Structure 1
Amino acid sequence: MQNNNTTKWVYLLVLSLIWGTSFILIKKALLGLNAYQLGALRTLITGLFLFIAGYKKISLIKKTDWKWIAISGFLGSFIPAFFFAIAETQIDSAVVSVLNSLVPLNTVLIGAAVFKIASTTKQVIGVVIGFIGTSILMLEGADLNPNQNYWYAGFVIASTVMYAINVNIIKRYLQDVKPLAIAVGNYVVIFIPALIVLVFAGFFNPENFSNPDFNNAIGYVVILSFFGTALAKVLFNTLVQMSTPVFASSVTYIMPIVALIWGLLDGESFSITQIIGTLIILIGVYLANRKTKKIRNI
């Protein structure tokens, strides 16, 4: 039991470092690619990595599991890959990473509303506090960066809802499927749709390949795809199965710290008020992860 407890914390820290770095990689890749090219290319390269590593695992997936594998693929990988890229065309990477901290809160909400999982009083309070912090972060960000369109934060918030649904699906319906099999199955489903998007997004225009920014962006996407998506997805699925959905989604505790450091090093501005908003969000996430004996339904 002790070894399992230590292992899940190691997974959590490694995932935090990997995903915390993903936001700056997306920002750099957007210097040479548009959001649709980035999302599609990220999906395709990740799929190739996963197929090489685990194509034999596809046969282990039962026919009855493919429905949930497909839903998991679109909600946990395909759509967010585009939404995060779209959001970062208008909002700083550090702010996007903080908004991503809403995943554990939405995991609680979705677990209660959709999967009928009871929530504690502290979890309900945590959800409220988390959204207060989000509001502060967004309003201050809009004042601090009037040239940025903070309505694009909606893409991040929508992605956190999809991540929350996905993590509950994995825990409830795919608990007995190997983590690598889930990841490979996800990309079997979303590979062709991503290829179609890449073609229509103008990626294969000949003039692109003579553009240094374009070629550099592809390098960033390769790094992002291997570490931030392929490797991280397998690690995350493993973490969900060895712990709980809420614990696994609390990877977003540490991610903003890593992303903030990268953002500040890259010249992004972040005010004291935004730091306060971030802390309020993390307090809400902390409360949402607390366990108490008193249970209520929301």
Structure 2
Amino acid sequence: MPFAVATGALHWRDWHHAHHFLVMALLATDFYYIAFAKGTALLLSSVAGMLSGAIPLFTFVTAAAFLREEPLNIRSIGGTLLGFLGVLLIARPWSQDIGTVNVAGVLWMVAGSFSVGCSFVYARKFISPLGLPPLALTTYQIGLALAILLATTDLGGIMQVFGDIRAALGLIVGLGFLGTGVAYILYYLIVDRLGAVAASSVTYIPPVVALVIGAVLAGEPVQAVDVLAMATILVGVGVLQSGRTIAKSREG
């Protein structure tokens, strides 16, 4: 916020659009963060990360319903179905060993993915036309999100994280400055320039990173079906994107 104020990015007149900032605070910050935190606590980090790969699929479905510039075709539908198949392979609801994957954790991750996936479309449809700078949009969104979380979250024991300097630095620099501040400035920039579905494609990276980090650094077990599930999600998103490209070329 100090940087946004210093650069003159914030204006009182922007608050005529406060209802849009509130929706973005809920979709792209509050519920998304809570759902991912709960899901990650119940799952291996690799599995949680792979489930986040479903974000572009939810973006596509929402865009197809609410954005005219995101047309449906066979490839797009097929890519969406492949992506959901990947999610099912991770959840494995048919497995006799119900302890293999925590279904509640999967549902939390899917809910979070759906929330942030919808946010790309909302930002494209309602936020981009406002013409406000990404720095201002990020400040309004995160400011409202913070106020909501402070009013609804039990903060008991929160200071314990600062007892570990590495955890504190990771929280402030990693999650706060880079993972939230810088990330959302880029979020609004690419949504405005590339569109909802294309912008959501940046979320292809976390599933791969999570799988590698989980296996290499955390020593988490990775089964062949997990790799297959991740590949299925990424192939589904790739097919989805190719369908979108073909549709645009035909329009041109």
TM-score range normalised by the length of the shorter chain: 0.7 to 0.9
Whether 1:224 and 2:175 are equivalent positions in the alignment is: yes
Question: How far 1:216 sits from its partner (Å)?
Answer: 4.8
SS in 2 for 1:134: helix
Question: How far 1:115 sits from its partner (Å)?
Answer: 4.0
SS in 2 for 1:269: coil
Residue 278 of structure 1 corresponds to which residue in structure 2? 230
Higher alpha-carbon deviation: 95-104 or 144-153 = 144-153
Whether 1:170 and 2:120 are equivalent positions in the alignment is: no
Could you tell me whether the CA contact under 8 Å between 2:91 and 2:101 is conserved in 1? no
Question: How far 1:148 sits from its partner (Å)?
Answer: 5.1
Stretches of structure 1 that go unaligned for 5 or more consecutive residues are 1-50
> Given the two structures, how large is their TM-score scaled by the length of structure 1?
0.73
SS in 1 for 2:208: helix
Question: How far 1:60 sits from its partner (Å)?
Answer: 6.7
Change (3 A) 1:60 1:111: farther
Residue 74 of structure 2 corresponds to which residue in structure 1? 121
Q: Distance in 2 between matches of 1:203 and 1:161?
A: 30
Higher alpha-carbon deviation: 128-137 or 217-226 = 217-226
SS in 2 for 1:292: helix
Q: Distance in 2 between matches of 1:221 and 1:143?
A: 38
Change (3 A) 1:157 1:63: same
Question: How far 1:228 sits from its partner (Å)?
Answer: 1.1
Could you tell me whether the CA contact under 8 Å between 2:191 and 2:199 is conserved in 1? yes
Whether 1:236 and 2:190 are equivalent positions in the alignment is: no
Could you tell me whether the CA contact under 8 Å between 2:79 and 2:240 is conserved in 1? yes
Deviation per residue, 1:245-265 (Å, 9 max, x gap)? 111111122222222221111
Moved over 4 A (4+): 140-145
**Mapping 1:41-56, distance limit 5 Å:** 51-55=1-5, 56=8
Stretches of structure 2 that go unaligned for 5 or more consecutive residues are none
Could you tell me whether the CA contact under 8 Å between 2:59 and 2:118 is conserved in 1? yes
Residue 140 of structure 2: which of 175, 185, 195 is its match? 185
- The one-letter amino acid paired with 1:256 is P
Question: How far 1:63 sits from its partner (Å)?
Answer: 3.8
Question: How far 1:118 sits from its partner (Å)?
Answer: 2.6
SS in 2 for 1:123: helix
Residue 206 of structure 2 corresponds to which residue in structure 1? 255
Residue 292 of structure 1 corresponds to which residue in structure 2? 246
- The one-letter amino acid paired with 2:28 is G
- The one-letter amino acid paired with 1:161 is F
Q: Distance in 1 between matches of 2:95 and 2:50?
A: 15
> Given the two structures, how large is their TM-score scaled by the length of structure 2?
0.85
